[in-house]
């Protein structure tokens, strides 16, 4: 297993659709034209893992750009390889720590953000690591265009409730929310996209929470 991880980590260095660490900084403010070679909307998938949402959204919306962001190269490899094999030129990946987001994107550069099944960091002292704490949410607001949207899907009820509290504190506008997305949105093709972890949670009968909100 360790050998395969190392091989994948090495291989993504050769992928044209993957940018790593400092190499991403020159794209700041110009991801659409310099990286994707177009002027289409830019959507981020934060903590993308294997990039299931980026790849599936890229398939459905060839007129939009999707950039998956994560720090674990062996996971990024899965989505990046799939996008390359399918010639999805509108799907790319950036390997960075999410707390450094402002070093890689200009204010208002992003059109929309997805956050799917992040680590809930359930222990209270780890609140600073939760990807929907106020510090992170303010960074997302900064890089997203005025009144841009963010989506969250999570199996963790506590993390979901915590996120709703922070959205309210920051006075962001909730457009949609549900504690059982497959019950309330049975025909939604986008929300039906499933990550690796989501499939595991569903097999255990876990409900899936979802919220879509607008940065005010």
Catalytic site residues? 119
Burial group, residue 170, by CB count within 10 angstroms (0-12, 13-18, 19+): middle
163 in Cβ contact with 126 (< 8 Å): no
For residue 167, what is the enclosing H or E element?
A: helix 157-169
* CA nearest neighbour of 106 among 40, 46, 26, 176: 26
Cβ-Cβ contacts under 8 Å for 23 (sequence gap 6 or more): none
**Could you tell me which residues are beta bridge partners of residue 151?**
114, 212
**CA 187, CA 192: separation in Å to the nearest integer?**
8
Q: Are strands 144-154 and 209-214 parallel, antiparallel or unpaired?
A: antiparallel
The dihedral of CA 139, 68, 208, 176: what is its sign?
Answer: positive
**CA 150, CA 144: separation in Å to the nearest integer?**
9
Q: DSSP 3-state helix, strand, coil percentages of the chain (rounded to 5)? A: 45, 25, 35
């Amino acid at each position: 297993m360790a050998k395969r991880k190392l091989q994948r980590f090495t291989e993504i260095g050769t992928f044209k659709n993957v940018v790593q660490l400092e190499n991403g900084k020159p794209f700041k403010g110009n991801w659409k034209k310099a990286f994707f070679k177009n002027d289409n909307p830019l959507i981020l998938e934060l903590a993308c893992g294997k990039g299931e949402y980026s790849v599936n959204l890229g398939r459905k919306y060839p007129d939009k750009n999707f950039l998956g962001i994560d720090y674990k190269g062996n996971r990024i490899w899965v989505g990046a390889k799939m996008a390359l094999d399918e010639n999805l030129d509108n799907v790319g990946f950036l390997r960075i720590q999410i707390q450094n987001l402002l070093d890689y994107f200009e204010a208002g550069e992003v059109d929309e953000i997805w956050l799917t099944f992040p680590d809930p960091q359930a222990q209270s002292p780890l609140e600073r690591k939760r990807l929907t704490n106020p510090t992170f949410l303010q960074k997302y607001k900064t890089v997203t265009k005025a009144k841009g949207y963010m989506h969250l899907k999570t199996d963790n009820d506590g993390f979901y409730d915590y996120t709703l509290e922070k959205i309210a504190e920051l006075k962001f506008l909730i457009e949609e929310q549900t504690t059982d997305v497959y019950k309330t949105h049975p025909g939604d093709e986008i929300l039906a996209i499933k990550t690796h972890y989501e499939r595991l949670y569903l097999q255990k009968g876990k409900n899936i929470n979802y919220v879509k909100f607008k940065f005010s």
